[in-house]
Amino acid sequence: MQLVYASLLLHDLKQPINEENLKKIVDAAGGKVEGAQIKALVAALEGVNIDEAIKQSMSFGAAPAAGAAPAAAEAKKEEKDEKKEEKAAEEAAAGLSSLFG
């Protein structure tokens, strides 16, 4: 997560998001990150429009803190519904298997 924050900071400061800059920020903050993690993030961000990615994440249901509780309750309800559907599917499959021996 440290690298994501460092990347956002670099982006906000209009600085290049590269291995050297990311390492400097994490080191300055007293963090420790492996070089492979930095390389992977830099490669993953190559060609990504960060401003557009942030806008899209906001439109995909990222709610303000005040709305977090209802969203969490809805997610929990959906999870319970999915579990019920899975259990029903398992029971149906068990019933079908008894037909074939």
pLDDT tens string 12-22 = 999 999 999 99
CATH top-level class of 1-62:
mainly alpha
Please report, for the chain, the start and end positions of each structural domain, with discontinuous segments joined by +: 1-62, 64-101
* pLDDT confidence bin for 94, thresholds 50/70/90: low
Structure tokens belonging to residue 98: 């008894």
pTM: 0.56
C-beta of residue 2 within 8 angstroms of C-beta of residue 31 = yes
Answer yes or no: is pLDDT of 71 > 90. Answer: no
pLDDT of residue 68: 55
> How far is C-alpha 97 from the chain's CA centre?
39
